[in-house]
């Protein structure tokens, strides 16, 4: 089979780039120890329902105006389904998944993280505007993905 010279050059260049990009990812993963974004700790994804504090997901007040919210993401819902906080509260969200990869995003805020089984993702936000904020899954996770949502009420 005859392959034109230019075509061969492009094939080699394409394969070289592919090899280079894979090497960059592999180096990041192995040498630099890259892990899922904003992780603070690991968890056994098969024992989420038995592992504190995720055995009792929900909102905890840690100080005046400061809260921690523990969420379990699972197909196709978030637990808790709703949290209510006063205006001006700073909330640190801790999220883990008991099944597959999910997303955790509150549009209009900076809250947006991946939720990877085996890891606890964490992100903080101060809610200075009253209203009901939709918290959605923005990683496709299956047939009911578009139903996966929860609410943050700020009053």
> Of 120, 137, 152, 154, which lies in the binding site for ligand CUA, with binding defined by CB under 6 A?
137
Binding mask 90-129 for ligand CUA (x = CB under 6 A): ------------x---------------------------
Which stretch in 3-11, 17-25, 61-69, 141-149 sits in contact with ligand CUA by CB under 6 A? 141-149
What's the sign of the alpha-carbon dihedral 14, 18, 20, 21? positive
Alpha carbon 118 to chain centroid, angstroms:
12
Characterize 12-25 residue by residue with b for buried, 16 or more Cβ atoms within 10 angstroms of its Cβ, and e for exposed.
Answer: eeeeeeeeeeeeee
> Of 114, 148, 152, 154, which lies in the binding site for ligand CUA, with binding defined by CB under 6 A?
148
97 is written with which tokens?
A: 């998944």
- Asked whether 141 and 75 are in contact (CB, 8 A), the reply is yes
Which stretch in 5-13, 56-64, 105-113, 132-140 sits in contact with ligand CUA by CB under 6 A? 132-140
The residues binding ligand CUA (CB under 6 A) are 102, 137, 139-141, 145, 148
């Amino acid at each position: 089979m005859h392959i034109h010279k230019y075509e061969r050059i492009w094939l080699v260049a394409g394969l070289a780039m592919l090899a280079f990009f894979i090497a960059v990812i592999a180096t990041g993963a192995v040498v630099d120890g890259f892990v899922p974004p904003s992780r603070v700790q690991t968890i056994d994804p098969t024992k989420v329902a038995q592992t504190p504090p995720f055995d009792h997901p929900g909102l905890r007040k840690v100080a005046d105006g400061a809260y921690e919210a523990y969420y379990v993401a699972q197909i196709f819902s978030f637990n808790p389904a709703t949290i209510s906080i006063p205006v001006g509260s700073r909330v640190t969200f801790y999220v883990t998944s008991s099944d597959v990869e999910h997303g955790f995003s509150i549009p209009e805020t900076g809250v947006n993280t991946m939720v990877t089984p085996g890891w606890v993702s964490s992100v903080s936000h101060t809610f200075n505007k009253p209203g009901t904020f939709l918290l959605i899954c923005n990683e496709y996770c299956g047939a009911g993905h578009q139903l996966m949502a929860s609410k943050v009420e700020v009053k």
